[in-house]
Amino acid sequence: MGAQILDGKEVAKKVRAQVRREAKIFTEQTGQTPCLAVIIVGEDPASQIYVKNKKLACEKCGFLSREYALPETTTQQELIDLIRTLNSDAQVNGILVQQPLPKHMNVSQINEVIDPDKDVDAFHPVNTGKIMIGNAQLLPCTPAGILEMLDAYEIPIEGRECVVVGRSNLVGKPVAMLMLSRNATVTLCHSRTRDLAEITRRADILIVAIGRARMITADMIKPGAVVVDVGVNRTEAGIFGDVDFVPASEKASYITPVPGGVGRMTIAMLMRNTLAAAKIQAQKNKKE
Ligand code: GUN
């Protein structure tokens, strides 16, 4: 018996449709159309595709979008100045700086310049801190997309053993926090974890974001586990997730494919955050 596929493409489509409906109501009530500004520095081809996809997703949701394509030679200060201009531009609701940035730039400083209310990646320390406390309004897109997908398939979370492999600020740490806030028992593993297989075999829900092609093999998976693969590893043989998909899908009850799994959810959640940001700003403007 093979695992059921967690279809990111389908769930993302439903999320976008819901965001589109809500955005229409928001526009009717406020006269405003949500607007996302995306900044890209340099000409990394993968980043250019991601940025194009974000623009297309905005169109599908009825949002406005702006793209700022800056040359590789842009200075840190020039980027900061652009972000500050967008922070004070009332037409712009969400600001996203596509990563990776060129090596001469300091990413954490950039993340701190973005207005937390416009921070649709939820990378600003104020937003990452709110995730810890459990009152965040803007959630990081990939972790939020994982939970959205589990919910779409009505996979129970409360009380279950969740093992997260990978401790990045982008995925591992925040998804561990979100699973904890839903009352899972969470174990966070990483590259220095001893006896990794012994721990992953305990998982009812196994979330892998380590960035190594096919490193989670079928023997590391508990029969019937839910397996969420966040990895996108480009190799000479093609694109692979962090999970050895074919044998793993014989063992799991549910599994995400790569591509077509978690990746699809990330942009859908970015759209949800852009609408949420527009609502936060509209509320604040009303109070002022
Ligand atoms: N590069 C790859 N994924 C992402 C993301 O989610 N946000 C940003 N800003 N850059 C990325």
Active site residue 151: no
pTM of the model: 0.96
Examine residue 21 and state whether it is found in any structural domain, yes or no. Answer: no
Name the residue among 215, 173, 172, 178 with its Cα closest to residue 197: 215
Same domain, 146 and 102: no
Q: Is the CB of 98 under 6 A from ligand 1?
A: yes
pLDDT, position 57: 97
- Give the whole-angstrom CA distance, residue 208 versus residue 215: 10
Tally the domains of the chain: 2
97, 110, 121, best to mutate for ligand 1 pocket (most atoms within 8 Å of CB): 121
Examine residue 241 and state whether it is found in any structural domain, yes or no. Answer: yes
Examine residue 59 and state whether it is found in any structural domain, yes or no. Answer: yes
Long-range contacts of 180-183 (CB under 8 A, 24+ apart): 181/134, 182/147, 182/157, 182/158, 183/157, 183/158, 183/159
Ligand 1 atom, smallest distance to 121 CA? 7
Find the catalytic residue in 115, 117, 119, 121. 121
pLDDT, position 1: 59
Same domain, 180 and 103: no
- Give the whole-angstrom CA distance, residue 24 versus residue 38: 22
Q: Which two tokens stand for residue 217?
A: 């093999």
Name the residue among 103, 94, 86 with its Cα closest to residue 269: 94
Distance 72 CA to ligand 1 centre (A): 17
pLDDT, position 287: 79
Same domain, 106 and 147: no
Chain centre to alpha carbon of residue 68: 21
Q: Is the CB of 111 under 6 A from ligand 1?
A: no
Planar angle of CA 67, 61, 273, nearest 5 degrees: 75
Same domain, 187 and 111: no
Q: Which structural domain, as residue segments, surrounds residue 64? A: 31-115
Q: Is the CB of 144 under 6 A from ligand 1?
A: no
What lies within 8 Å, CB to CB, of 252 at 6+ separation is 3, 221, 224, 225, 226, 227
Examine residue 279 and state whether it is found in any structural domain, yes or no. Answer: no
With a cut of 70, which residues of the chain have pLDDT below it? 1
Helix (H, G, I), strand (E, B) or coil at 182: coil
Q: Is the CB of 229 under 6 A from ligand 1?
A: no
Name the residue among 270, 258, 276, 272 with its Cα closest to residue 9: 258
Active site residue 54: yes
Q: Which amino acid, 141?
A: C
Which residue owns the Cα nearest ligand 1 atom 3? 99
Ligand 1 atom, smallest distance to 140 CA? 6
In this structure, are strands 185-189 and 161-165 parallel, antiparallel, or unpaired? Answer: parallel
